[in-house]
């Protein structure tokens, strides 16, 4: 049987990038425990629209945990309190009747707030643009399995490639560092033979881009891997460091 | 900027500086502790250890200069990181909650670091830059630890160092890229063990001296 909850929401409202934001309180009554967190915000927004008020702006797209669009900080935890889930996969059954829930946007100098809970994560795209790709010749498609790759290596690369670029690692990091994101993007290519020819240029270019965009520095607090909805490990950060040292001290890339 | 400057001013380069200098302080602490353990063997053992150490002559000067140089790098880089990391999040969260990654050691890292600089300054004034004519080093140590305030300060400082090292040790390996499924659990345990050894090993010295005096 479906249970319902009565909740108090404190939601960050901010009109635009340069305006002052504040927490506003809303009552969320009759919230079904079967709803996802985003569906709960949908319900509030319908109420607000009926009352003639501005609905809460929030990012979302696939609502099945694979697109990386959604994400807010719920009671101090990016994507909420559940491990390995995105905000759209967080169900209201994990909350209790009468709870107060504080909802804030990702906070980082590199992520400008566009409106309310929506932040501009374009900085992550700029890190990818700096080197998160492989150059491939056009022409006939190469044969599958022409380059042997062990299952273990393929799995490691896939684990890194599971990153959906949601930015929760930046939001969770006490220093607002983007090292888990960058390391996942460097690792997924560094582990595979197709990524090796450009490995040195990639490592240096992506790390420099990350630094220039205003992210903080990693101090190995391990909050990122604890909050990552795809449970990407800081083993990738160690690998990125190795790739960076190799590139900086032993390659010809300047 | 040339490639070397770019490398060491990058985020990972600064981590590398912190890791290398930090690990050498761990090595120094080990040597310092082994030397100081002669205090438990009494006056003669400690005085003879100090004499042997000073007979190394220029090697000591090289080591001291190296430590000072590394110390400056560690502190200056650490301060840069501290202020850059605060600036990276201009608007703070209304609600802060940890997911279990942080430890007491990691959260307090910049603050324990600053306490340690203050302590090291005091420590050098007490035992290094003091007038040593007419008294042995053992007497100087004994005199210092007759004052209860010094015992408290030294024990607290050593506990602070233990917390600093509890995060710093494994963190240095992670920074150097040494994160391997076979070795990382051992490195993490070794870090905790090392901080306990430092804390207990140094921490009991002032208490032992004051009891036996």
Query: What is the predicted ipTM?
Result: 0.92
> In chain A, what is the straight-line distance between the N-terminal and C-terminal CA atoms, in Å?
64
What is the domain-level CATH number for residue B159?
1.20.1300.10
Q: In whole angstroms, give the CA distance from residue A111 to residue A172.
A: 13
Residue B76 in any domain: the answer is yes
Cα angle A224, B5, A130; round to 5: 50
State both tokens at A212. Answer: 């220039």
pLDDT at B131: 83
pLDDT digits (tens, 9 = 90+) for B44-55: 999 999 999 999
Could you tell me if A177 lies within 8 Å of chain B, comparing CB atoms? yes
Give yes or no for residue A138 having a pLDDT over 70.
yes
Task: Please answer yes or no on whether B102 and A175 come within 8 Å at the CB atom.
Answer: no
Give yes or no for residue A3 having a pLDDT over 70.
yes
Q: Please give the backbone phi and psi of residue A25, each rounded to the nearest 5 degrees, phi first.
A: -100, 135
Task: Please answer yes or no on whether B88 and A219 come within 8 Å at the CB atom.
Answer: no
| Residue of A172, A220, A224 lying closest to B174 (CB–CB) | A220
State both tokens at A211. Answer: 């630094």
* Best CATH choice for the domain A4-104 from the list 3.30.70.260, 3.10.20.30, 3.40.190.10, 2.130.10.10: 3.10.20.30
Interface residue of A20, A176, A233, A248 to substitute, partner B, most B CBs within 10 Å: A248
Give yes or no for residue B128 having a pLDDT over 80.
yes
Please report how many Cα atoms fall inside a 13 Å half-sphere around the Cα of residue B134, on the Cβ side: 2
Q: Domain locations in chain A?
A: 4-104, 122-137+145-250
3-state DSSP assignment of residue B179: coil
Give yes or no for residue A237 having a pLDDT over 90.
yes
pLDDT at B1: 73
3-state DSSP assignment of residue A73: strand
Confirm if B95 and A215 have CB atoms less than 8 A apart.
no
Q: Which domain holds residue B34?
A: 9-88+103-212
Banded model confidence at residue B11, pLDDT cuts 50, 70, 90: very high
- As a whole-number percent, the residues of chain B with pLDDT over 90 amount to 86
Give yes or no for residue A135 having a pLDDT over 70.
yes
Residue B75: how many CB atoms within 10 A of its CB?
16
Shortest distance between the Cα of B66 and any Cα of chain A, in A, equals 23
Give yes or no for residue B104 having a pLDDT over 80.
yes
Number of domains making up chain B? 1
Task: Please answer yes or no on whether B93 and A73 come within 8 Å at the CB atom.
Answer: yes
pLDDT digits (tens, 9 = 90+) for A193-223: 999 999 999 999 999 999 999 999 999 999 9
Task: Please answer yes or no on whether A104 and B94 come within 8 Å at the CB atom.
Answer: yes
pLDDT digits (tens, 9 = 90+) for A144-175: 888 899 999 999 999 999 999 999 999 999 99
The two beta strands, A4-13 and A22-32, are antiparallel
Residue A101 bridge partners (DSSP): A9
Residue B95 in any domain: the answer is no
Q: Please give the backbone phi and psi of residue A7, each rounded to the nearest 5 degrees, phi first.
A: -125, 155
Banded model confidence at residue A1, pLDDT cuts 50, 70, 90: low
State both tokens at B7. Answer: 């490398």
Give yes or no for residue B57 having a pLDDT over 90.
no
Q: Average per-residue pLDDT in chain B? A: 94
For residue A33, the 8-state DSSP code is T
Give yes or no for residue A11 having a pLDDT over 80.
yes
pLDDT at B108: 96
Task: Please answer yes or no on whether B81 and A75 come within 8 Å at the CB atom.
Answer: no
Residue B3 in any domain: the answer is no
Topology of A122-137+145-250 in CATH?
Fumarate Reductase Iron-sulfur Protein; Chain B, domain 2 (1.10.1060)
Task: Please answer yes or no on whether B102 and A223 come within 8 Å at the CB atom.
Answer: yes
What's the whole-number mean pLDDT along residues B174-179? 96
Confirm if A25 and A44 have CB atoms less than 8 A apart.
no
Q: Average per-residue pLDDT in chain A? A: 96
pLDDT digits (tens, 9 = 90+) for B80-98: 999 999 999 999 999 999 9
What's the whole-number mean pLDDT along residues B135-154? 91
Residues 6+ apart with CB under 8 A from A145: none
For residue A65, the 8-state DSSP code is S
Chain B partners within 8 Å of A241 (Cβ): 12, 15-16, 174-177
Chain A partners within 8 Å of B166 (Cβ): none
Banded model confidence at residue A236, pLDDT cuts 50, 70, 90: very high
What's the whole-number mean pLDDT along residues A94-104? 96
Confirm if A32 and A92 have CB atoms less than 8 A apart.
yes
Interface A-B, measured as beta-carbon pairs within 8 A, has a size of 129
Interface residue of A82, A117, A222, A233 to substitute, partner B, most B CBs within 10 Å: A222
Chain B partners within 8 Å of A77 (Cβ): 97, 99
């Amino acid at each position: 049987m479906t249970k319902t909850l009565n909740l108090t929401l404190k939601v960050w409202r901010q009109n635009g990038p340069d305006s002052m934001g504040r927490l506003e309180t809303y009552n969320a009554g009759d919230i079904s425990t079967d709803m996802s967190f985003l569906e709960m915000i949908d319900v509030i927004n319908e109420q607000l629209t009926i009352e003639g008020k501005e609905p809460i702006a929030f990012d979302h797209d696939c609502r099945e945990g694979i697109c990386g669009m959604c994400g807010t900080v719920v009671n101090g935890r990016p994507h909420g309190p559940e491990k390995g889930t995105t905000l759209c996969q967080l169900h209201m059954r994990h909350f209790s009747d009468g709870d107060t829930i504080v909802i804030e946007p990702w906070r980082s100098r590199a992520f400008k707030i566009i409106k309310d809970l929506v932040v501009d994560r374009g900085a992550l795209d700029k890190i990818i643009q700096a080197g998160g790709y492989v150059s491939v010749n056009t022409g006939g498609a190469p044969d599958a399995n022409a380059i042997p790759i062990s299952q273990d290596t393929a799995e490691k690369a896939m684990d890194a490639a599971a990153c959906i670029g949601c930015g929760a690692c930046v939001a969770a990091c006490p220093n607002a560092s983007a090292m888990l994101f960058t390391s996942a993007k460097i690792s997924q290519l560094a582990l595979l033979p197709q990524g090796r020819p450009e490995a040195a240029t990639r490592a240096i270019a992506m790390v420099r881009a990350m630094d220039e965009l205003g992210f903080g520095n990693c101090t190995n607090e391990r909050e990122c891997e604890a909050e990552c909805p795809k449970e990407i490990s800081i083993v990738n950060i160690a690998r990125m460091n190795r790739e960076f040292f190799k590139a900086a001290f032993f390659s010809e890339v300047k | 900027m040339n490639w070397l400057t770019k490398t060491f001013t990058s985020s990972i380069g600064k981590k590398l500086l912190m890791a290398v200098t930090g690990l050498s302080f761990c090595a120094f602490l080990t040597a310092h502790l082994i030397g100081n353990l002669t205090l438990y063997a009494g006056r003669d053992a400690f005085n003879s250890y100090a004499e042997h150490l000073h007979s190394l002559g220029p090697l000591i000067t090289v080591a001291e200069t190296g430590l000072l140089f590394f110390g400056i790098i560690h502190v200056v880089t650490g301060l840069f990181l501290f202020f850059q990391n605060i600036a990276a999040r201009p608007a703070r969260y209304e609600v802060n909650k940890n997911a279990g990654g942080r430890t007491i050691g990691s959260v307090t890292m910049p603050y324990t670091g600053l306490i340690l600089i203050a302590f090291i300054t005091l420590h050098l004034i007490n035992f290094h830059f003091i007038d040593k004519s007419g008294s042995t080093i053992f007497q100087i140590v004994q005199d210092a630890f007759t004052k209860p305030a010094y015992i408290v300060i030294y024990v607290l400082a050593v506990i602070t160092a233990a917390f600093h090292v509890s995060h710093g040790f494994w963190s240095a390996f992670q920074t150097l890229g040494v994160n391997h499924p076979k070795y990382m659990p051992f490195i993490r345990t070794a870090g905790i063990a090392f901080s306990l050894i430092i804390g207990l090993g140094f921490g009991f010295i002032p208490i032992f001296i004051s009891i036996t005096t």
